[in-house]
Amino acid sequence: MKSKLYALGALLVMLMGLLAACGGSSSTTTAGGKTVITLWTHSAGNASEMSTLNKEVTSFNGSHSQYQIQIQSFPQASYNDSVSAAALSHKLPCILDMDNPTVANFAWSRYVQALPVTDSDVQQMGLLQSAIGRYQGKIYALGQFDVALTMFARKSILQKYNIRIPTLDQPWTANEFNDMLSKLKSSGAFQFPFDLNPQYGGEWLPYAYSPMLQSFGGDLIDRKSLTSADGTLNGPAAAKWGQWFQGLFKNGYANPKPSSDQGFLQGKVALWYTGSWATDDVVKKYGKDALFLPSVNFGTGPKIGGGSWEWGISATCPQQASQGASQFIKFLMQPANIALLNNATGLIPTTPAATSLVPRYATGSPYRILFDMLQRFTVMRPPTPAYPTISSSFQKAAQGIIQGSDVQTNLDNAVNAIDQDIQQHNNYQQ
């Protein structure tokens, strides 16, 4: 009898615990009359981005008495998985930041709602195209900053080997670039003269290498129809890119598996192709000897990637909170706040009004070239819900090409995977 009582008691306690855990937490509840708006960001651990966000939220909460924004920060590596998991369990926050190429997929999956922002609004702001997340003509996300892919080099090294310093209007041509790499390699001073960070993996591969593919004349997918990559990703132009790219590693110009990305800063590498987030480190190390150079023109002009983390509102955010959320996003896009973020992080502002408030990118500054490159050379990653598949297929193809397997087979397999995925989804119609 006693054992039965103990058993019942234990069961009751466990049931209560289960219920407490299951008790859903809605994303907005009133606390002291204010509408609480939850915000998720991927910037956990990034001191400058978090401190700026905290300042902006405090300022907004102070000036809008009916709203209170609460920040929850996540580490970047698991952020997208957390968003997917929250979407599955209908527990998305009201405001969340998203990487630009995933916006179309989130919009198609109905994670996020369209912002009350029109094309003329963004035109008035002069917002960079790469800072807008679009899907089917509607705007779903806006970004405060962007990054430019840059070739870092040292003036002294280029002069020593008689290499021309390129300008925006006169970038290196393919032949020039190949000759240059051959010269640097045969000098014996650099085991691997060119560092393009293949070890980063993940989204870096399409972000950094598809602009080169586009400069050769190929692309990730046919942008007019967005339904097939056949002929674009495995056509003759793409095959040329693949052969050149494989040649970099075959000829020993680039290391297929660098153990770190510090080669340029340690003087072991002559050319470093990476994002402009590295400018501070480069300038600290090399000062006036540092050069920020445009990408190579492989045929259709130099191209760089664009589009970074942008702010949007989830589809499950209640009416009242959504209004507050869109006010907050408009607040974030004011020149003063964009300037606040980019002054703290050294990244590139996305509107001309904000740029005038960021001394680093003022006309005449040596960093201005980064802003100009972003304006002139950016090609967006394809704004389609199929992008996650395009990205993973391209990653697999790029890694196969780096390892030396047949270029055409790798590209053909990527095209097969992308086309089949789009067909399985009925061209991603809703």
Partner 1 sequence: MSVITGATKQVQVIRPQQRKHLRGNLVTALILGGPAFLLLLVFLIGPFFMGVAFSFTDERLVSPVPAQFIGTKNYSQMLQVSILTLDPVVDPTTNQPRHDAHGNLLYPSVRTFTQNEQKYPQYFQLEQWFSVNLGNQRFVVLAHDPTFLHSIFNNIFFALVVVPVQSGLGLLLALLVNQKLKGRNFFRTIYFSPVVTSMVVISIVWTFLYDKNVGLVNHMLKTVSFGAIGPVNWLGSPSTAMWAIIIMSVWQGVGLQMILFLAGLQDIPEQLYEAASIDGANPVQQFANVTLPGLRNVMVFVFIAITIAAFQLFTQVFVMTQGGPNDATSTVVFNIVQRGFVAQNIGYASAMSVVFFLFILAISFVQRYATREKKGK
Query: DSSP label at 44?
Result: T
Residue length of the chain: 430
Among 400, 407, 418, 422, binds partner 1 (CB under 8 A): 400
Q: Based on the shown chain and the rule CB under 8 A, indicate whether residue 65 belongs to the binding site for partner 1.
A: no
Instruction: Give the CA angle between residues 193, 198, 199 to the nearest 5°.
Output: 115
Residue 148 contacts by C-beta under 8 Å, 6 or more apart in sequence? 275, 276, 304, 348, 370, 371, 373, 374
Q: Based on the shown chain and the rule CB under 8 A, indicate whether residue 19 belongs to the binding site for partner 1.
A: no
In terms of DSSP bridges, do strands 30-31 and 34-41 run parallel, antiparallel, or are they unpaired? antiparallel
Question: Given the rule CB under 8 A, which of 21-29, 277-285, 368-376, 388-396 is the region that contacts partner 1?
Answer: 388-396
Residue 291: phi and psi, rounded to 5, are -125, 140
Question: Given the rule CB under 8 A, which of 44-52, 133-141, 303-311, 414-422 is the region that contacts partner 1?
Answer: 414-422
Closer to partner 1 at the Cβ: 314 or 389? 389
Q: Based on the shown chain and the rule CB under 8 A, indicate whether residue 16 belongs to the binding site for partner 1.
A: no
**Of residues 368, 395, 367, the one with CA closest to residue 381:** 395
| Bridge partners, 141 (sequence order) | 133
Burial call 360-386: b when 16+ CB within 10 Å, e when fewer: bbeeeeebebbbebbeebbbbbbbbbb
Among 59, 173, 320, 399, binds partner 1 (CB under 8 A): 399
Q: Based on the shown chain and the rule CB under 8 A, indicate whether residue 388 belongs to the binding site for partner 1.
A: yes
Q: How near is the Cβ of 364 to partner 1 at its closest, in Å? A: 43
Q: How near is the Cβ of 329 to partner 1 at its closest, in Å? A: 23
Closer to partner 1 at the Cβ: 83 or 348? 83
Give me the sheet containing 149-154, strands edge to edge. Answer: 194-195, 271-275, 149-154, 290-293
The 186-215 site mask, x for binding partner 1 (CB under 8 A), equals: ---------------x--------------
From CA 138, how far away is CA 132, in angstroms rounded? 10
Residue 56 contacts by C-beta under 8 Å, 6 or more apart in sequence? 331, 332, 337, 340, 341
Closer to partner 1 at the Cβ: 130 or 316? 316
Q: How near is the Cβ of 117 to partner 1 at its closest, in Å? A: 23
Q: Based on the shown chain and the rule CB under 8 A, indicate whether residue 403 belongs to the binding site for partner 1.
A: yes
Q: Based on the shown chain and the rule CB under 8 A, indicate whether residue 78 belongs to the binding site for partner 1.
A: no
Report CA 89 to chain centroid distance, whole Å.
26
**Of residues 141, 291, 149, 146, the one with CA closest to residue 214:** 149
Q: Based on the shown chain and the rule CB under 8 A, indicate whether residue 10 belongs to the binding site for partner 1.
A: yes
Q: How many residues bind partner 1 (CB under 8 A)?
A: 39
Q: Based on the shown chain and the rule CB under 8 A, indicate whether residue 82 belongs to the binding site for partner 1.
A: no
Closer to partner 1 at the Cβ: 17 or 45? 17
Q: How near is the Cβ of 11 to partner 1 at its closest, in Å? A: 5
Sign of the CA dihedral with 108 first, then 111, 116, and 121 last: negative
Residue 49: phi and psi, rounded to 5, are -65, -40
The total of other beta-carbon atoms located within 10 Å of residue 395's CB is 18
The total of other beta-carbon atoms located within 10 Å of residue 22's CB is 7
Q: Based on the shown chain and the rule CB under 8 A, indicate whether residue 288 belongs to the binding site for partner 1.
A: no
Q: Based on the shown chain and the rule CB under 8 A, indicate whether residue 389 belongs to the binding site for partner 1.
A: yes
Site for partner 1 in 314-373 (CB under 8 A): none
Site for partner 1 in 143-172 (CB under 8 A): none
- Helices 47-63 and 335-345 cross at an angle (nearest 10°) of 160
Q: How near is the Cβ of 256 to partner 1 at its closest, in Å? A: 6
Q: How near is the Cβ of 184 to partner 1 at its closest, in Å? A: 19
Q: Based on the shown chain and the rule CB under 8 A, indicate whether residue 262 belongs to the binding site for partner 1.
A: no
Closer to partner 1 at the Cβ: 143 or 218? 218
**SS3 category, 193:** coil
Q: Based on the shown chain and the rule CB under 8 A, indicate whether residue 11 belongs to the binding site for partner 1.
A: yes
Among 70, 109, 178, 427, binds partner 1 (CB under 8 A): 109
Closer to partner 1 at the Cβ: 52 or 393? 393
Q: Based on the shown chain and the rule CB under 8 A, indicate whether residue 121 belongs to the binding site for partner 1.
A: no
Name the burial class of residue 215, with classes exposed (0-12), middle (13-18) and buried (19+) by CB atoms within 10 angstroms of its CB. buried
Give the residues lining the site for partner 1 (CB under 8 A): 1, 3-4, 7-8, 10-11, 14, 81, 84, 87-88, 108-111, 201, 230, 256-257, 259, 388-389, 392, 399-400, 403, 405, 408-409, 412-413, 416, 420-421, 424-426, 430
